[in-house]
Amino acid sequence: MSEREKISRRRYIEIIGGTIAGLAVGAALGYIYGTTISPPKPVTKPTPRSIKMGYTMGMTGPLAVPNAWCDKYRILFTEIVNEKGGLYVAEYGERLPIELVKYDDRGSTDEMAKYYERLATVDRVHVFLTSYGTFVAPVVAPIAAKYKIPYVLGSAMPLPDLKSRWTVWTTPIVFASYELIDLLKKLGISDVYLAVIETKFGLEFRRNFVEGFRYKDEVYEGLKDTGIKIVAEKLYPIGTTDFTSIILDAKAKNPDAFIQFSYPDDSYACTKQMIELDYNPKFYYTSLGLACPTFYKRFTAEELEGITIYGQTYVPSAPWRDPYIGSCRDFFNKFKERWGEEPDINDTNNDFVAISIAAQAIEKAGTLNGEAINEVLHKETFSTIYGPIKFDEYGIITKDCPAHTATVLQWQKGELQVVSPPQSKTAEIIYPKPRWPR
Partner 1 sequence: MLPSSFFTIFAQLLISAFVLGMLYAWLASGLTLMYGSSRVVNFAHGDITMLGAYLTYWLFTLYNVSPLISFLLEALLFGGVAILVFIAITRPLRKRSRTGDEFEMATIIATFAMSMWCMNFAGLLWTATPRGFRYLPQVLSFSGINLEMNRLLILILSSVSFILLYAFLSKTRIGKGIIYTIQNSDAAQLVGVDVEKVALLSHIIGFVTAATAGACHSLFWTISPTIDMFYCLIAWTVIIIGGVGSLRGCLVAGLIIGILETFAVYLLSPALRITINYGALLTILYFKPRGLFRR
Q: Which residues make up the interface to partner 1 (CB under 8 A)? A: 62, 64-65, 68, 198, 234-237, 239-242, 244-246, 248-249, 251-252, 264-265, 268-269, 272, 275-278, 294-295, 298, 438
Residue 62 contacts by C-beta under 8 Å, 6 or more apart in sequence?
Answer: 107
**C-beta of 119 vs 192, nearer to partner 1:** 192
Angle at 77 between CA 76 and CA 81, to 5 degrees: 120
**C-beta of 197 vs 325, nearer to partner 1:** 197
Q: How far is the CB of 80 from partner 1 (least distance, A)?
A: 25
Q: How far is the CB of 241 from partner 1 (least distance, A)?
A: 5
DSSP string, 388-424: -EEB-TTSPBPTTSGGGB-EEEEEETTEEEEEESGGG
Q: How far is the CB of 71 from partner 1 (least distance, A)?
A: 13
**C-beta of 183 vs 246, nearer to partner 1:** 246
The phi-psi region of residue 244 (left if phi > 0; otherwise alpha if psi is between -120 and 50; otherwise beta) is alpha
Q: What is the H or E stretch that residue 79 is in?
A: helix 64-83
**C-beta of 172 vs 255, nearer to partner 1:** 255
**C-beta of 42 vs 239, nearer to partner 1:** 239
Query: Contact, 327 vs 438, CB < 8 A?
Result: no
Q: How far apart, in Å, are the Cα atoms of 354 and each of 33, 73, 130?
A: 52, 10, 9
Query: Contact, 173 vs 160, CB < 8 A?
Result: yes
Q: How far is the CB of 404 from partner 1 (least distance, A)?
A: 30
Q: How far is the CB of 202 from partner 1 (least distance, A)?
A: 12
DSSP string, 112-154: HHHHHHHHHHTS--SEE---SSGGGHHHHHHHHHHHT--EEE-
Query: Contact, 185 vs 165, CB < 8 A?
Result: no
Q: Look at residues 183, 152, 182 and name the one whose alpha carbon lies nearest to residue 166.
A: 152
Q: How far is the CB of 197 from partner 1 (least distance, A)?
A: 10
**C-beta of 108 vs 423, nearer to partner 1:** 108
Q: How far is the CB of 200 from partner 1 (least distance, A)?
A: 15
**C-beta of 20 vs 65, nearer to partner 1:** 65
